[in-house]
Chain A
């Protein structure tokens, strides 16, 4: 399958973000949690984007923030796929009462606002990186399950599945060897989109004050503090905000099939 320009752009962004996260100790000019003497310094040669309200170097925090965003985003998408894909595959393949029940639950979840759900759960269990990954994965699995179910329904009717069933293959084996390989590309695309929206949602949570707890550098939280100092140093909120938008766009462009 040839990659389109859109996907190439997305891939380049993701590679850049991953490099940024991986090479953070080399790219960062200072320790991201090191509290400095000069707070709210404007951008200069020593502090490329200035310093925040505690005198920490914003550029270094931005670079380290990539680790958190990518980690939470990809982690949540893995959890969502592990939960959603088996449910979707089984619902689509077996049909019947299990399918009916699964569709009911999926539709119910999809109608609920993911961010509000994540807010409520985070408020109850407390924010930490591990919790955020689990919560966002839990909030996002229904979309994957629905997509997988639809694809499985189409593959289930194909001749090779019928042939496998005719020679006496077991359902689990057919799903693994015949159905999954034919829906995996859709799952991969949906995975990328899920990463995009997991980063989107986790940074929104941070912006609202319920994300990764300080002093860990996190883009959403940085926008929130920077927002209070918008007039003094716009880069304080604009730079991390831009970072979120570009990273989300990267995963979205890679995964989305429309447009």
Chain B
């Protein structure tokens, strides 16, 4: 187990370093002089040179990169060009928001996909419904789903707040009321793709002998489905969660923008639109490291769920 973790970590580190370097070089290469961006078009060459020297922009790129990495490891991610605020301080309070949104969306998607596709009651009606819902989840873009949900539940019915965010301090009910639509929006795509993976495995497992034995000893169809087939069909879904966690950050960016959720995705879009290089770089790096770490966690979860792999 430990060797597995170490081996995976050793593989992950060069990946992160490689991508972060690529990102740093291409972003700084293409964006041009940050000093020019910060001071505006009318800045005198002397002022630009002075700022370049002060911020270290006149150094070669690899030196800037090493400097950045060194600072980042020490918790200093630079300062925003737009607000002059510390990037680390801008990002930190936003991470739990995005994490909560993402985790809840994955939980909702996994529960929905496994339970809805395992139901044995009125199977002939439920199955096509689940299939159609899955296709809708995959093909309706996040932004369209979000806008439609806002239109239906907030504008027409008036049940839920349109956009915005209520922290835990405003009470759990208020918090959940603001959280419901974003979580549904973000989970839709994953509900659809988890359903595909789960259904394929479910149908294969249902043909196994031990399922026939369970049925033969007199268990009800529901008990067979949920006690014997479901636990044996969920492994591919767990693997798939690992693969898709990276894509989830993309969905979170759109969802947070639609619902004005103060998360990292929202910060990222605003930084990109404002060409705020330090914020952009820091959030991209956070996403990349997050993706690698989450893939690692998914791998480990997989070995816990399937003891046979541990021996290998």
Given contacts A124-B26, A227-B147, are A115 and B272 in contact (CB under 8 A)? Answer: no
Whole-angstrom distance between the Cβ of A7 and the nearest chain B Cβ: 13
The answer to whether A245 has its CB under 8 Å from any CB of chain B is yes
Partner of A210, one of B30, B272, B291: B272
- For A259, list chain B residues within 8 Å (CB): 131, 134-135, 196, 199
The answer to whether A204 has its CB under 8 Å from any CB of chain B is yes
Interface contact A210-B295, CB-CB below 8 Å = no
Whole-angstrom distance between the Cβ of B230 and the nearest chain A Cβ: 19
- For B131, list chain A residues within 8 Å (CB): 259
Interface contact B31-A124, CB-CB below 8 Å = yes
- For B134, list chain A residues within 8 Å (CB): 259
Interface contact B247-A231, CB-CB below 8 Å = no
The answer to whether B273 has its CB under 8 Å from any CB of chain A is yes
Interface contact B139-A196, CB-CB below 8 Å = yes
Residues of B231-260 at the interface with A, using a CB-CB cut-off of 8 Å, are 243, 246-251, 253-254, 257-258
Whole-angstrom distance between the Cβ of B41 and the nearest chain A Cβ: 17
- For A258, list chain B residues within 8 Å (CB): 196, 200
The answer to whether A249 has its CB under 8 Å from any CB of chain B is yes
Interface contact B139-A249, CB-CB below 8 Å = yes
Whole-angstrom distance between the Cβ of A22 and the nearest chain B Cβ: 23
A residues contacting the other copy or chain, number (CB 8 A) = 41
- Residue of A at shortest CB range from B31? A124
Interface contact B253-A111, CB-CB below 8 Å = no
Whole-angstrom distance between the Cβ of A209 and the nearest chain B Cβ: 6
Whole-angstrom distance between the Cβ of A68 and the nearest chain B Cβ: 15
Interface contact B247-A209, CB-CB below 8 Å = no
Partner of A113, one of B148, B249, B280: B249
Interface contact B30-A241, CB-CB below 8 Å = no
Residues of B whose CB lies within 8 Å of any CB of A are: 15, 19, 23, 26-27, 30-31, 131, 134-136, 138-144, 147-148, 150-151, 155, 196, 199-200, 243, 246-251, 253-254, 257-258, 268-269, 272-273, 275, 280, 284, 287-288, 291-292, 295
A/B interface sample: 17 pairs, CB < 8 A: A110-B243, A111-B246, A112-B291, A115-B253, A116-B250, A120-B272, A200-B139, A203-B143, A207-B254, A234-B151, A237-B147, A245-B144, A248-B141, A252-B138, A258-B196, A259-B131, A259-B135
